[in-house]
A and B are shown apart, each in its own frame.
Chain A
Amino acid sequence: MNKNIFKIFSCCFFAFAIMSCKKQLEIAPRQSIDAATALNSKDAVEASITAIYARFKSARLYGRDLIAVAEALSDNGVATNKSGRLLPEAQNNQGATFTTAIWTSGYGGINQINLTLEAIPKLAGVTSVEADRWQGQLLFLRALSYFEMMKAYAYIPGAVVTAQDRGGVPVITKGIQTADFALTFLPSRPPIDDVYKQIVDDFTLANAKLLNTATGVATSLASKAAAQAMLARVNLYTKNYSEAKRWADSCITLVGSRLSTTGSYVAGWRAEHHPEALFQIRFATATENIGVNESLQTSYSTLVTPGNTTATGGFGDLVPSITLLNDLGIALTGGMTIANFSLPASIATRTTDVRNLVFEPGTSGRGNAKVECTKFLGRSGVINLDNVPVIRIAEVYLIRAEVQATAGSSVLNLTNALADLKAIKSRRYTDYTGSAQEIADNAAPQPVLFDEIFRQRRIELAFEGQRFFDFKRLGRDLVKAPHYNTVAFTDTRILAPILQGDVDGNPNLKQNLGY
């Protein structure tokens, strides 16, 4: 009996043992698929594009840093030290700047964009409409990735400290998918202009391929209007003013009048999708919520809902500086001094600028109340969940105004510039038409007009992540008085460090000076 059991057992055992050994080792992952064939379907291309958009939601990108850190570094933001966040950035401490996530996430996305672009022509049954829609978005996102990296890590053409210029960021337009290639890939930093050319080329091609002019939720994806607006902004940066004007003209024509009015301005900042947005990064569901530590809402405000100072939500780490409050037309009780600024905030007076209505005192739940920005206040219906406008039509007007009011511009035209300025101001000041302000604007000579356009740009785009780069592209010193010390344009802190690990591992790659 026992012998039989033994025989059966041992037979089974050895049968098992001599089964194909190799086969026994087979096991496949279930949440991932083989990279070699991953992009072989239309759905996969769509999913790949989705993932590239999703990257931009990171708190290190549009989720916070590209907006709030940019404000902290500029003269707009003052850190309240309520959570300790953004304080080093507001003080422009050495090393407190944009992180290397823009670099790593950017190149991760760029490689996938390149691979997806290479995969599309190989797919069967793709219509040209589909291909254009995909390629247009991919090119747009590639340009946007390079542009954001260049803003953080490199100088902007026309505003370069030559002795400190270590170039742009490596441009990669071919997909990488083998270890052998990846291990020997040691790129260097090309000249700044080369990278901007790539950015312009990509946006231009995206513009050609994209057809839609999006509104509402559709602005969450790249559109023709978005590409044109971005081309206007990039050319403003690179000081190709005629191109900036051309693209701004085209964009405004394409989009039509989307500017909010004095009556609808505040509502625009309470709507889930900002009506002026041409492109936004969408945060839709609770899983996408960045949360109480780092969301834009918590960064900017202690409020949960506008006007309700009894419920404390976030930290309100970064609040408008005295100079920004001045430009916004907000006067603190007791006067605009550092001493008053440190007291619990109380607004004495406001001007007729409707834009200052999205600034109000927060709660005292995290220490002294401050006047806070409420542009991001849970517009997607939940606290800390806000879509982030990347570019709005109002900015396109301001770009067109600026390039025509800039001294030495090839498209200098003060009349046109004034018209665009007034297009904005008449929709922002309840009493603009016929006011002394309008009369003064009408009579403004070039430098005055330029300054007013630049000031309006500050007010219009306050706490939207533009101010630091507006200084940087013009090569201006960052004057942060009365809160902080001035950071000269020649200071190395104007540029963020690139990934030290990449520098450590690549003799061709030069770290920015000072890091």
Chain B
Amino acid sequence: MRKTLILLMCSFFALTQVMAQNRTVTGTITDSKGNPVEKASVTVKGSSVGTSSNTAGIFSITVSETAKILIVSSVDMVTQEVPITGNILNIVLKDKGGNLQEVVVTGYGATRKRRDEAGAITTISAAQLENKPNISVDKGLQGQAAGVLVQANNGIPGGAINVRIRGAGSLNAGNSPLYIVDGIQLNNRDDAGFTQSNPLAFLNPDDIQSLDVIKDAASAAIYGSNAANGVVIITTKKGRPGKTKFSLNAYNGQATILKKLETTNSQQYYQLRLEATSNASSLPINTLSSKRTVLTELRVPGASGFTDNQADSAAAALKTYDWQDAVFRTGNIKNYELSASGGNEKTTFRVSANITKQSTTITKADFNRAGLRADLTNKATDKLTIGTSISLSTFNQNTPFAVSGSFLGNPAFSAAGIIPAFPIYNPDGSYYGVPGTAIANLGGTLNQNIVQVNDYNSGFNRTNQLVGNFNLDYKINSWLTFKAFTGLDYRLVQGKIVRDARTADGFNFKGNVFVQSNWNTNINTYGTLNFIKTIGDKHKIDSRVGYEYRQENNAGITANGQGFPTFQFTSLQNAATPVAVGEFFSGFRRNAVFGDLNYNYDSKYIIGVVGRYDGSSRFGSGNQYGLFYGVKGAWNIDRENFLANSKTISALRLRLSYGSTGNDQIGNFDALGLFGGGGIYNGGAGIAYSQLANPNLKWETTTLSNIGIDLGLFNSRANITAEVYNKQTKDVLINLPLQSTTGFTSIAYNVGKTENRGIEMELKGDIIQAKRTGGFNWNANFNFAYNAQKVKALYGGNQILPGDPTIRVGEPISIAFTQRYAGVNPATGRAMWLDTLGNLTYSVLPKDRVVIGPTLLAPYYGGLSNTFTYKGVSLNVLFNYEYGRYTSDGQINFLRESSGRINFLTDIYQNRWTAPGQLTSVPRQNLATEAKSTGSAGGSRTFFKADYIRLRNLEIAYNFPTEAISKLKLSNARFYVQGTNLWTYSDWFSYDIEFVGVATGIIPQTRNITVGLQVGF
């Protein structure tokens, strides 16, 4: 719309001058992101006639009839020769250094051109985040930013995402970055008691203009104690002066399962169980009594009196029921957004609304959000600008019986494990094996009819969230500004779980209902005095001092009731027995003074220092305050004369930084010695010594040195950013294990040092550049990160943490430390192990544990994004990868047991040991653990490499031609089809490799296909 306006204006100019001898050419100059380029010089080739663009990028030049070509140039831009094809020209200048013209956000409302920034900051633009079916923006970062490892915990829509910037330094304190949305420091708590929710789930990713990841400590040090894990600054879209623009965006799609597990059918299960039963009693496999026992377990009528033949034909006649098919469904994805933005020179605004509904492949997990946003900025006077940004959001997450864990009623856990001979429904269509009927359960350990459990049970968490700020800028004079800011992040999370009276977990209680209500008030306010002055032509100084205060109060109530009149009643009001009530309160306080000073000489030499003195209520009374600081510098080498005219090197920068930041992400009262609730007994309430005081508890401090190089080649056709960092964390916060004979199992403590060192590389290139507009373009962006993490020191000279041998000097922080599985003894079919000396044994001890490898953080990770455009069509392909970590999949571990208490993976059937001499790694089946044996359920047998490459996102989009849509009074229209997780390179054999922690019973990731339309008018 705005462009149209400008065009109209330009046409008007053109018309008024058409009578003149010379003609007038007008136009707008923008950068590749559509931002106006001011002070660009426009000259006529072969003459001295010239002008420059204004702040809106608009120029007007009078040229002779014969003039053919304009030369357009600007600092840091690739000079362009533009044929004069008409009276109105739209010129797009390419950034010489790739993205050096882009604005980076550096904290507390400050921005700076990348050209003038010395830190390591990665900016993700709206285009990289938009329209992807992600509930929260963190998921959209996967593979997009070098050095930012993004791992989804599971596939719960709106569930937790682990974001780790440059590894992780802490042993027990949080390793999540600080998230700031429009200046508001979010709390990163998850208060959803019955499912998982993500602190960023309130915000529609399509409302985000840019996301800046601050990776180096000197840049992050302005946030001091909160910033040891990096800072993610999210800036939402704002209005611009001009006619009100509307944007409507809708996408719809489906989510399907990535994989079904291959499990044994009833005959295969029967065979394995038969072997297990006979082996447990040292009987030949085909002993009739074993057959009878197994068939009786499988509820074959009269099995206990069967003859051999009867038993065999009964086994052959067993039906197989596919519980996975019964549980998995196709999920739906729906998203609708409408925004309006505009304003005038005094006031700008943007309002937006969105509705998002996503359901996943497991009933009833879903996510339903309605959100409203309003941004308003008003220039009250020449000096005073006020603004506000408010986001109101409500999202409801329905939840299945459980979202993780080996609960019998958890559909994601049990679907593959229920013994397949048990039907889902009775012949009359009613549920088979449910309480209160003749057959009250299924056989085997997974004895709940999960289809019934999931149909009848209900549960949800609903989050109502307000995130808003009020900000004020007062220009005291041309070089001094006072900024005041107050932000509020208010959250009310309510939830309810109903264990229906007809289901196994509610039957004996006549219904069991839990409710929770949790409210969290997080206020953060600061004031800064900002100084910006250019002295002479070349000396630019900017500086600020500020004060900040942040507080968070978290409180909640819970209640549980049992004994409902009928299953239709689920309100606690109707409960006969109020079982339990709970209430809690927690909170923290922080305050700080901070300041920085930056000096820039002619955009050639840049230096900055920063300091922050920061206090947190979480630490011991004498150690609440810490000092954090940073210094950084950059040398824009390309500004030196010797490179000024280089044809090869279009940009070259060297950046150095060193700084310190803190981490206080521990429990709010971890430093205190406390007596808390000690249970109840005999009608009285007890108190128990719950926590030992550590008055010396203090900050964990991280120092990070960073060297970065930005290189642009061939007029920025290829751009490389490389960073090397060394991140040292000391006074690491840990729940230090104590001898439990002290009466305590651990104490919050500062111990030792950890190290994360790594390199990051970002390569961007226009592999194929179209000769003319609309031609074929291929643009690729590859990022790579390597992070080596290790524990450097503990305390008292210990090489292994007393009480926790998985924490070892020289090793990464989270490691698989376990015994080595050595396969199956071909003679006996029994699982073998290696002891410390490397000898084969049936039984291993804790002393035989060895380090297998890192389990949490992949040392190698990154992504590759390719964009192809031709005319109005674009194709975007994004891959991400992880390499080098190990993990264990609890879901699979259950399905690989040797006893048949639940169903098996087909792999176990195919590879189990059955005859002497057979070489295999799957031991013989046995109900019992083999005598004097460690068994085969643990150790290195359960750890596998978790490497993968995933086609994270594929989008085909078509931008309708302007001429066509202008008839419909539209300014732009875009149609797109997207696929998420379409392809994965991984030999992971469970539902999916993408999870953090144990995968037992988690809701897996899904494959999503969405179709969308975006129109502007």
Residues of A within 8 A of B (CB): 2, 5-6, 9-10, 13-14, 16-17, 21-22, 24-27, 29-36, 38-39, 44, 46-55, 57, 81-84, 87-88, 91, 93-96, 103-104, 107-112, 115, 170, 172, 176-179, 181-183, 185-187, 217, 220-221, 282, 284-288, 292, 304, 312-313, 339, 342-344, 363, 365-368, 383-384, 485, 499-506, 509, 511, 514-515
A-B contact pairs, 17 of them (CB 8 A): A10-B474, A10-B482, A32-B691, A35-B674, A50-B684, A87-B927, A96-B929, A108-B689, A178-B693, A182-B739, A182-B747, A286-B579, A292-B504, A363-B440, A384-B508, A501-B737, A514-B845
Interface segment out of the listed B236-244, B348-356, B675-683, B870-878 = B675-683
Contacts of B673 in A (CB 8 A): 34-36, 177
A194 CB to closest chain B CB (Å) equals: 15
Contacts of B676 in A (CB 8 A): 31-32
Closest to A105 in B: B740
Closest to A116 in B: B689
One of B583, B743, B935 near A176 (C-beta < 8 A): B743
Is B672 touching A29 in the complex (CB atoms < 8 A)? yes
Closest to B280 in A: A91
Residue B647, interface by CB 8 Å? no
Is B739 touching A187 in the complex (CB atoms < 8 A)? yes
Residue B616, interface by CB 8 Å? yes
| Closest CB pairs A-B (n = 6) | A111-B743, A51-B678, A51-B686, A505-B802, A505-B803, A54-B679
Contacts of B547 in A (CB 8 A): 13-14, 17
Is A500 touching B684 in the complex (CB atoms < 8 A)? no
Contacts of B584 in A (CB 8 A): 30-31
Contacts of A312 in B (CB 8 A): 435, 440-441
Q: How far is the CA of A48 from the CA of B749 in the complex (A)?
A: 26
Contacts of B589 in A (CB 8 A): 24-27
Q: How far is the CA of A57 from the CA of B441 in the complex (A)?
A: 29
B934 CB to closest chain A CB (Å) equals: 7
Is A107 touching B672 in the complex (CB atoms < 8 A)? no
| A94-B742 in contact given A25-B615, A54-B679 (Cβ < 8 Å) | no
Contacts of B292 in A (CB 8 A): 342
Residue B846, interface by CB 8 Å? yes
Is B846 touching A515 in the complex (CB atoms < 8 A)? yes
One of A24, A344, A503, A505 near B304 (C-beta < 8 A): A344
Contacts of A24 in B (CB 8 A): 549, 589, 591, 615
**Size range of the chain B interface in the assembly:** 35 or more
Closest to A482 in B: B281
Closest to A342 in B: B293
Q: How far is the CA of A39 from the CA of B801 in the complex (A)?
A: 33
Interface segment out of the listed B203-211, B377-385, B633-641 = B377-385
Residue B461, interface by CB 8 Å? no
Q: How far is the CA of A36 from the CA of B343 in the complex (A)?
A: 61
B732 CB to closest chain A CB (Å) equals: 16
Contacts of B293 in A (CB 8 A): 342
Q: How far is the CA of A501 from the CA of B804 in the complex (A)?
A: 6
Residue among A13, A35, A51, A94 with most chain B CB within 10 A: A51
Is B681 touching A51 in the complex (CB atoms < 8 A)? yes
Is A91 touching B928 in the complex (CB atoms < 8 A)? yes
Closest to A111 in B: B743
| A14-B579 in contact given A47-B684, A501-B740, A505-B739 (Cβ < 8 Å) | no
B898 CB to closest chain A CB (Å) equals: 12
Residue among A181, A182, A221 with most chain B CB within 10 A: A182
Is B672 touching A34 in the complex (CB atoms < 8 A)? yes
Residue B932, interface by CB 8 Å? yes
One of A5, A21, A26, A505 near B737 (C-beta < 8 A): A505
Contacts of A10 in B (CB 8 A): 474, 482, 484, 527
Q: How far is the CA of A515 from the CA of B585 in the complex (A)?
A: 42
B574 CB to closest chain A CB (Å) equals: 16
Q: How far is the CA of A176 from the CA of B380 in the complex (A)?
A: 63
Is A104 touching B678 in the complex (CB atoms < 8 A)? no
Residue among A103, A220, A367 with most chain B CB within 10 A: A367
Contacts of B693 in A (CB 8 A): 35-36, 177-179
Q: How far is the CA of A179 from the CA of B670 in the complex (A)?
A: 13
One of A16, A284, A366 near B683 (C-beta < 8 A): A284
One of A50, A170, A183 near B682 (C-beta < 8 A): A50
Q: How far is the CA of A173 from the CA of B549 in the complex (A)?
A: 46
One of A47, A109, A185, A514 near B739 (C-beta < 8 A): A185
Q: How far is the CA of A55 from the CA of B743 in the complex (A)?
A: 13
Is A366 touching B447 in the complex (CB atoms < 8 A)? yes
Contacts of B928 in A (CB 8 A): 87-88, 91, 93
Is A500 touching B562 in the complex (CB atoms < 8 A)? no
Contacts of B579 in A (CB 8 A): 285-287
Q: How far is the CA of A14 from the CA of B935 in the complex (A)?
A: 67
Is B685 touching A112 in the complex (CB atoms < 8 A)? no
Q: A25-B624, A47-B684, A51-B686 are in contact. List 17 more A-B contacts (CB 8 A).
A: A29-B586, A35-B675, A46-B684, A48-B687, A50-B678, A94-B843, A96-B929, A104-B745, A107-B740, A182-B692, A185-B741, A287-B580, A342-B293, A365-B439, A365-B440, A367-B297, A485-B931
Is A501 touching B304 in the complex (CB atoms < 8 A)? no
Q: How far is the CA of A114 from the CA of B505 in the complex (A)?
A: 40
Residue B588, interface by CB 8 Å? yes
Contacts of B688 in A (CB 8 A): 48, 51, 108, 112
Residue B901, interface by CB 8 Å? yes
B841 CB to closest chain A CB (Å) equals: 12
Is A112 touching B689 in the complex (CB atoms < 8 A)? yes
Residue B590, interface by CB 8 Å? yes
Q: How far is the CA of A29 from the CA of B668 in the complex (A)?
A: 9
Contacts of B299 in A (CB 8 A): 367
| A25-B616 in contact given A51-B687, A93-B929, A313-B508 (Cβ < 8 Å) | yes
Is B474 touching A6 in the complex (CB atoms < 8 A)? yes
Contacts of B741 in A (CB 8 A): 107, 170, 172, 185, 187, 502
Q: How far is the CA of A514 from the CA of B527 in the complex (A)?
A: 64
| A182-B742 in contact given A35-B675, A285-B680, A287-B680 (Cβ < 8 Å) | yes
Is A29 touching B674 in the complex (CB atoms < 8 A)? yes
